[in-house]
C-alpha cells in the first residue's frame, strides 16, 4: 500500500502528487495542514524527523525528499515512464530537478511566503504561534520558521527575484524549440519546476508575464491542462493551492 503525507497540491507536495497521478497509482492521501503545524505532531515526526512534507510510505516504510521520491516511483513503477530514455536526456531532467532542490524551491518559497503566507497560520488550540514554533524539534526547521515569521527582508526577496529571473531565462531558452523542459519529452523535470513557477504569474507578474516570459506562460498552461495535474490540484482543501504558502526548504549554505 502507498500512503502520501502531503499538504496542499503546491511546491514539494505537488511534485509527488502529480507523479503519482501521472503513473495512475492508487494511494491513500494523508493531508497535513502545514499552517496548523500538523507536520510537527509526534506521529509524523516518527516518519520524518525533519517535519517536512511530503513523505511517501510504502508498506510501512517512509521515503522523503521529493526529487528522490519521484525517482523512486519511476524505478519501482516503470510503467508510464516519466524520465527520458537516453542517459544524456536523463542527465538534463535530473539537472532541472537538482536546480529546483538547490535554488528554485527556496527562492520561490521566500517570495510566496512573503506575498501569501502568514495570514493563514493557525496555531494549535490553546497555544501561540511562537509556542508552536518552539516545539519544532529540528533546529534547522525551527530556525527556518523563525526566520520566516520575522520579516524576510528586501535583501532576501531581491535575491529570490534574481534567481527567478535566471530561471525564466533558462526556461525561455529551453522552450524555444520544444514543449517540455528536458529534451526527450515530458518528464520529472516539468513536474519539479511547475509547482514553484506556477506561483509567480500572480505574485511576481513583472518577472513572469507576457512580455518577459511568453514560453514559460505557455508551458505553465500546458502543464495545468494535463489530466494528472488537474487531478492533483482537485485535492486542494483551500480551493486554490497557489493562493497559500509555507516556509520553504533551506537555501544552499555555501556557494
Q: Would you tell me which residues interact with other proteins (CB under 8 A)?
A: 61, 63-65, 67-69, 71-72, 75-76, 87-88, 90-91, 94-95, 98, 101-103, 139, 159, 162-163, 166, 251-255
Q: Phi/psi of residue 213, each to 5°?
A: -145, 55
Edge-first strand order for the sheet with 28-31 is: 28-31, 2-6, 55-58, 61-63
Q: Least distance from C-beta 132 to other proteins, angstroms?
A: 22
Q: Least distance from C-beta 16 to other proteins, angstroms?
A: 12
Burial of 41 by CB count in 10 Å (0-12 exposed, 13-18 middle, 19+ buried)? middle
| Per-residue b or e along 93-113, where b marks 16 or more CB atoms closer than 10 Å to that residue's CB | bbebbebbbebbbbbbbbbbb
Q: For residues 236 and 229, give the distance between their C-alpha atoms in angstroms, rounded to a whole number.
A: 12
Nearest to 124 by CA among 133, 112, 116: 133
Distance of CA 244 to the CA centre of its chain: 12
Q: Least distance from C-beta 106 to other proteins, angstroms?
A: 10
Q: Least distance from C-beta 215 to other proteins, angstroms?
A: 20
Q: Least distance from C-beta 192 to other proteins, angstroms?
A: 13
Q: Least distance from C-beta 77 to other proteins, angstroms?
A: 9
Amino acid at each position: 500500500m502507498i500512503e502520501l503525507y502531503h499538504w496542499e497540491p503546491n511546491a514539494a507536495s505537488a511534485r509527488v502528487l502529480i507523479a503519482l497521478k501521472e503513473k495512475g497509482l492508487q494511494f491513500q492521501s494523508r493531508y497535513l495542514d502545514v499552517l496548523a503545524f500538523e507536520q510537527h505532531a509526534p506521529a509524523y515526526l516518527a516518519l520524518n524527523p525533519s517535519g517536512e512534507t511530503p513523505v511517501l510510505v510504502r508498506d510501512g516504510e517512509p521515503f522523503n525528499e521529493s526529487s528522490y521520491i519521484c525517482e523512486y516511483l519511476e524505478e519501482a513503477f516503470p510503467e508510464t515512464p516519466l524520465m527520458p530514455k537516453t542517459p544524456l536526456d536523463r542527465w538534463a531532467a535530473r539537472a532541472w530537478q537538482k536546480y529546483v532542490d538547490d535554488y528554485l524551491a527556496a527562492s520561490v518559497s521566500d517570495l510566496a511566503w512573503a506575498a501569501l503566507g502568514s495570514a493563514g497560520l493557525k496555531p494549535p488550540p490553546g497555544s501561540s504561534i511562537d509556542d508552536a514554533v518552539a516545539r519544532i524539534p529540528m533546529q534547522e526547521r525551527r530556525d527556518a520558521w523563525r526566520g520566516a515569521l520575522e520579516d524576510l527582508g528586501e535583501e532576501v526577496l531581491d535575491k529570490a527575484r534574481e534567481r527567478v529571473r535566471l530561471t525564466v531565462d533558462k526556461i525561455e531558452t529551453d522552450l524555444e524549440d520544444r514543449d517540455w523542459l528536458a529534451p526527450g519529452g515530458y518528464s520529472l523535470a516539468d513536474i519539479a519546476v511547475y509547482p514553484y513557477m506556477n506561483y509567480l504569474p500572480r505574485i511576481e507578474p513583472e518577472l513572469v508575464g507576457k512580455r518577459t516570459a511568453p514560453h514559460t506562460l505557455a508551458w505553465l498552461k500546458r502543464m495545468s491542462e494535463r489530466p494528472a495535474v488537474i487531478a492533483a490540484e482537485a485535492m486542494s482543501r483551500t480551493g486554490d493551492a497557489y493562493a497559500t504558502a509555507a516556509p520553504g526548504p533551506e537555501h544552499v549554505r555555501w556557494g
